[in-house]
Every structure is written in C-alpha cells, then in structure tokens.
Structure 1
C-alpha cells in the first residue's frame, strides 16, 4: 500500500525534505503512534491465540510455504476483485465484502478485552461475553457506515489490524513470515510504482470510507468524509521536476490534507513481531501479561523487530515528505526483518532464527 502526504502546514514552499518533515511532524508522529499501537495491541492478545487449534493451518501448516503462497494469492485475488467491482460502480458489493471481513477480524480483538472487563467485574457468563463482543462489533460497524470520520476509521482500523496481525502471526514460523514479507514488498513496489493499481485500490477505499487504511490529519479542520475520491492518483502532475519535487507541495484550500497509510503497511511488520514471540525458543524468564505469559528472549526479539520497523517508518517518512505516493512495504518490511535478525542474534542466538520448512 502506498503512503501520501498532501500539502505543507503553512502554505510556504519548503526548502528541503527536513523542512517538510518539520512542518508535518504532528501527522507523522500520529501515524507512527498508530503503527506502534496496533502492533502492541496485537502483541497483548498473543498468549490467547498462541495455541495449535487457532493456527490457520494447524501446527503442521505453520512451517509449510505452500500456505504462505496461498495467502499471497488471496491478497492478489482480493485486489483484482475490488478494482474490478470499483470500475463497474459496484460500491455496495465492495462495502459488503470488506465490512464482512472487518467484522470477523474485529471479533478476535474485542472478545479478549470484553472477557477481561467482565472478569474484573466478577461476571463469568460465557454467553454474555460472546453476546457483548458481537454487539460491540456490530456497533462499530454501524458507526463506520453512519459516520465514517477519520477517528472512527482509525479506531476500527487499529482494532482490525491488531486482530489480523495476531491471527496470521501465530500461524506461520518467522522464516515463512519473512518470505511472505519479501514477496509482498516486491509486489507492493510494483503495484505502486509501475502498474499503480494499488493507488487505484487506495482511492476506492477512501471513496467508500473503509478502514483498510489509517488517516493522520494535519489540521484540526480536516474531514475524511469530505475527502476527494482520487487522493492517491491526483499528485502526479505533468511536467513535475522529480529531482526537486518538494517545491511543488502546496496545500489545497480548506485545509483538508492528511497522511494515509494502508493497513497492510502495519500488518506485515506486526506479523513478524507476533511470529517471533510465538515460535522462537522459550528462552529467559517468564513474563506475566494480562492474558498469559511470554518468555523474555522471544519477546526481546519481537520488540527488536518492532523497533526495526519503526526505523523503516522514519526512513519512509523522508520519502513521503517529498509529496509522492510511496510503496510502504519495502522500507517497513526491510527495517523489521533487519531488526529481527539483529535482535534475534543477540537475544536467542543466530541458530535459533532458522526454522525447518517445506512447501507442502
């Protein structure tokens, strides 16, 4: 998924990328906070779902590369389907497909915290916990349909992202997650910079106000509801001097500019964080959490992976500051993988970072 910044903060023509970043620091920090917060939220529920029964393809499937190839194929099919529907004006079908998937993903992050709340209150009814979780998910979906402002979209997006991160992260060993991330990064670069169909997909989601992206406003008056339908593809003017694009960054009237990041740009680094904690050797002291226990060694690698992803995010912002839509996964995934390798070599040893895998 691409990222894009539109407009400077004060209407002046910035003299350098650093100046642009200084002007847009609030939205960039906000987006970075959502990036970290989504992954940490997914990490918090990892102990609950780190069991063989929950893994998407079972215990044996966690080390089979064929299932990762299948996941990547599903992503491509979904992208083609959504673009095909959008070009035919079938927005209702797009909303139905995406909202169904979102509602199911929401349940996995909402239910543990509903259980925690009821446990604190001394309520142990499983039916009540289940019913309340479903009711909250339906309410969030209804709010999204009725009033899809940026803070509603972000709330649902962060929750959905945390759920997806955890479910995929506990389903594959780190080696396969890294292979998945590398393949996705190559695809993302091609889809954003060559075919540009990823930008068309992003515009479709913005048009339909669907939370498969995160939005960081740059001004208080920003309204996602009033956002243009062609945000990502509107910033490539004819004749722009790409060697010095920053002077062309100017705000539109109305102050409706924002930074956008696809949810996939958070999910892929987060998957490696969860996978590290789930599958690396149980080394070091046990650390108690609200939903279970983790081991210090794998947790250190997971946090190191997150730090690497955050470094990739900072590097990405230097490119986003130029006002161009960017493929986020090459830098985000690259930073996360580097963070995994470095922290893993220190915390659990290089030998522990490799897992035996097969295709089928």
Structure 2
C-alpha cells in the first residue's frame, strides 16, 4: 500500500473518530434553544384519577391538624368534623395526657379545642372547638359491615405534620383485632395498604364515594413509618361510641370491678388464667365474694379461668365475654383459689 494512501486512511479514521466523539456536543449546539419547550396536550384524567381528586376536593376541608402540648411535650395528629355542631373526632392516643389541644384547618389561625369525651378501649376521643366552625361540612358516614377486601380506600391526614395529605390503597383485610393501651382489643378493625404514617392518627379512612368507613389509628412497622400495613377503627364502632362520648363524656365499659395482674407476670407465676390483683370497693366483684392478691401474706387470691363455661386466658378475652353479656346481666365465672375450683355469679356493671 502506498505511504500516501496509508496516511490518508489514518487521517480519515481520526476525522471520523473525532466527529463521533463530538457528535453529542454538535447536536446540542445545533438544536439548542433559549425558549421553553411546547406543552404536549394530555387526554382526560383516568376514571380512578377523577375519583381520587373529587374525594380529596370534597373531604379534605373537614380534616384538621390536631396539635397538642403541655408539660414540655408536643404532638400532632389528625381529626375530622363529625357533625353540624362542629365536634371533631380523633384518636384517644393523640390527645391523651396533653393539657392543650388546638386544631388547624389549612393555613387558618389555630383554634383552641377541648376534649369532651374519650374512650381508651376504642382509641377514640371527641374535641369541641372553642369557637364556631364556619362552612365546614361534616364527612358523611358509610358502613363497615359491607366492606370487601380489594375495594379502593383513601386516607386523609397530616403525616409528620404535613397538612392535608392524601394516600390511596385498598382494603387489605377485615376483622382484625387491635390491642389498646387499656389492655382490651378493638374488634372488626380494617387493615389497609393506604400509606399511614405518624400524624395520620385520628384522620378518616374513606371509600370511593367519599364516605367515612374508619378512623386511622395505627401502623404495623418496625421503623415506625409506613410499611404497607395500617389499621382503622371501623365506622360502625365509631358511630356507636362517638354519640355516647358527646352526650356522656365516656362510653360504657362492661366490667365487674377488678384490676388484674400483668399477664406477663401472671405467666411467670404459671397461673392458669387471669389473676385478680385487686377488688374495687363496692363493686360487683366484691359483692360476689371474689378476692384479690393478699400482699401481706403474699398469697394469690382468685384466678378467673372461664366465663359462662368458655375458657378465657387474657384480659381482652374476659372483656369480650363481659361485653357480649351486656351491662346489667349476670355471668358465671369459674375461678380457682388455692387449687380449689368453684363458680360464682357476678353482675356486669359499667366501670366507666
């Protein structure tokens, strides 16, 4: 090959290589523009998008941020307007132990509120704003008895204090049981995968029609943040308890007038059931002759093993049986004392 041809080939190769390397820069230079790009028109919103935006537009205005303070502590949660009188429903754990409560609707000024009723057994509380709420419509009620797994739900609340946030998901499961701080359980709890985080507590869970179907109350997460499993108190329970909180300040609590030994401690003692720690003076348990722990003699008194012939091992199970019997009715308790077993009739009373 002639030397001149070889040199030409090398030069041509170098030219092509340089052109290849510089191509992006050449394109950027040739097509650069200092004008905004034209907007591409989109089609109409999909049906599920329209539904979500409509629900948020209709209901978000009734969901305030609930802020608490006092004794050097602060907290935030959510709530929703319950009725035309302006009562606001939230979780009991959002306001429990706080001396000051305010509600804030959007950017409007904070409104002081008073806790007028609380039901720790259901993790529900009712607030009464100290000034009238103008033009805030309460959220209409749905039903939780006819929910089905898979149907769309929306959660509106204030996660991490960020006001009026919405998340969407489905009903993941029904009839869950959720322990409360009082040692009892809420039955019929709704499980959802709609994102629920700290601050969502007390906010509404809505169906696709924008109706209240539950009150967001807890998440299951090792980190304390959303992990795909959230829980809501079913609206059928809420609709039973909230009117009582408004009218009476509390919900009836079926009981017999005892305190019980911590279940972990009782298990360590290898007790066969629920250990009665103390009998409340004047209670149905006292009238029935039940006995608690004798601290002087260091003796265990009565241990409840059955209610109406059905085995009970936890306080939640005992509470469930007493609630099923109803206040004013009697139950038959099977108890053990010093190895001897007997049955006693005890009236179910409201322990308030």
Q: TM-score, normalised by structure 1?
A: 0.24
Larger radius of gyration between Structure 1 and Structure 2: 2
Higher relative contact order (CA 8 A, sep 6+): 1
Higher strand fraction (1 or 2): 2
TM-score relative to the length of structure 2 = 0.25
